[in-house]
Amino acid sequence: MNKFDRIQQLHAILEHRRTPVSLPELMEDLECGEATVKRLIAKFRHEFDAPVVYNRTHNGYRLERQPDTRYEVPGLWFTVAELHALLTIHELLAHLQPGILKSELSTFCNRIKKILASRGLGESELLTRIRICRIAGRPALPAHFNQAAKATLERIQLKIQYYGRSSNTLTSRTISPQRMVHYRENWYLDGWCHTTEALRIFSVDRLQSIEPLKIKARDIPAKELDNHFMPAYGLFAGAATATAKLRFTPERARWVADEQWHPEQHGEWCADGSYILSLPYSDHRELLLDILKYGPDVEVLAPPEVRGEVKKRLLLALKKYE
């Protein structure tokens, strides 16, 4: 039996006893000597934050229990690969938004590090060998994110003050949050707006104030949410009303052909090595920005209105360099 199995066994012995367990009893149950038992208790305390206390009156050890709580040994059932995977998840979550869940995850992360260190593995340079770059992310207040997420999970309504960038206005709304969405390095809140009586998307970084209400949220079926928010290209909601056809140069095609722009996209290779990507959309604003970033490596074949708008913007951009 290795030392981790013994610690797990030690925890089970102390967990199921309401009275202190003497050292001789532990030696017998664990089938090891006095020095080994004391080392296990010390390791249990210091590396796993176990609340093991010694009772002088009864000359034994016990787990100090808090009301309505139960101590659980962290991580003893994980393999090294699983522990590394958990640390990787922690690192990814930490970069989704600075500050979000930081305090909740730090204790969890520290315990995993302790377990790895106790096995003589350390972090295997894990956190220094993973680099995550956030580009164009708009910071959201952690308090606003946490309140929005909490209300979404607890199914209660929110009263918000929301600044709309496109309209440059501040509005007061009552919403029933439906789900949190992480999209292109930013957080959004899909919700039913009781002010407009319609589904809306709210950028979490634009929440100026947020107040939980003691009113049950209106529930929209998941299928209805998907039908409303997902058919068209990008973040804009609504059913797709048109299909864009984009031809990419042979050089750029080698990248674009492996990318997913939309779940229902269609691609085809041409004889000259170029690639035509077709995808549904309802609002061309976000699509335009994605097309323009490819410059001369893409040509809009259809529809005419999108082709014309791209041409117009390229000409306006060219004028700035004349």
Choose the CATH number for 242-319 among 3.30.70, 3.40.1350, 1.20.120, 3.30.2010. Answer: 3.30.70
pLDDT digits (tens, 9 = 90+) for 105-118: 676 677 777 767 76
Checking if the pLDDT of 93 tops 90, the result is no
Summarised one tens digit per residue, pLDDT across range 150-209 is: 999 999 999 999 999 989 999 999 999 999 999 988 999 999 999 999 999 999 999 999
Cα 50 to Cα 38, 43, 176: the distances in Å are 14, 9, 41
Structure tokens at 293: 């970033």
Domain 3-63 classification at class level: mainly alpha
pTM of the model: 0.69
pLDDT at 74: 60
8 A C-beta contact, residue 11 and residue 49: no
Mean model confidence pLDDT for the chain: 87
**Distance between CA 70 and CA 77 in Å, rounded?**
17
Q: Is 233 exposed, middle or buried (0-12, 13-18, 19+ CB in 10 A)?
A: buried
Length of the chain: 322
CA distance 173 to 129: 44
Number of neighbours of residue 9 by Cβ within 10 angstroms: 16
pLDDT level of residue 232 (50, 70, 90 thresholds): confident
Instruction: Give ranges for CATH 2.30.30.530 in the chain.
Output: 142-222
Q: Which tokens go with 291? A: 């097309």
Percent of the chain with pLDDT over 70: 87
Residue pointed to by tokens 């209106």: 218
Higher pLDDT, 125 or 132: 132
Which residue did the predictor score with more confidence, 251 or 3? 251
State the pLDDT at residue 285: 92
Give Rg (Cα) of the chain: 28
Q: Identify the DSSP state of 185.
A: T
pLDDT score for 238: 79
Confidence of residue 69 (pLDDT cuts 50, 70, 90): low
Classify each residue of 134-143 as buried b or exposed e, where b means 16 or more C-beta atoms within 10 Å of its C-beta.
eeebeebbee
How far is 97 from 218, CA to CA, in rounded Å? 28
Q: Which two tokens stand for residue 183?
A: 């999209």
Q: Looking at residues 52-66, what average pLDDT do you find?
A: 88
296: DSSP letter: G
CATH number of 142-222: 2.30.30.530
The DSSP secondary structure of 37-59, one letter per residue, reads: HHHHHHHHHHHH---EEEETTTT
Q: In angstroms, rounded to a whole number, what is the distance separating the alpha carbons of residues 320 and 93?
A: 41
Q: Where in the chain is the domain with CATH 1.10.10.10?
A: 3-63
- Provide the pLDDT confidence category of residue 1 given band limits of 50, 70 and 90: low
C-alpha span between 56 and 144 (Å, rounded)? 49
- The strand pairing partners of 177, in sequence order, are 191
Strands (E), 41-142: 52-55, 60-63
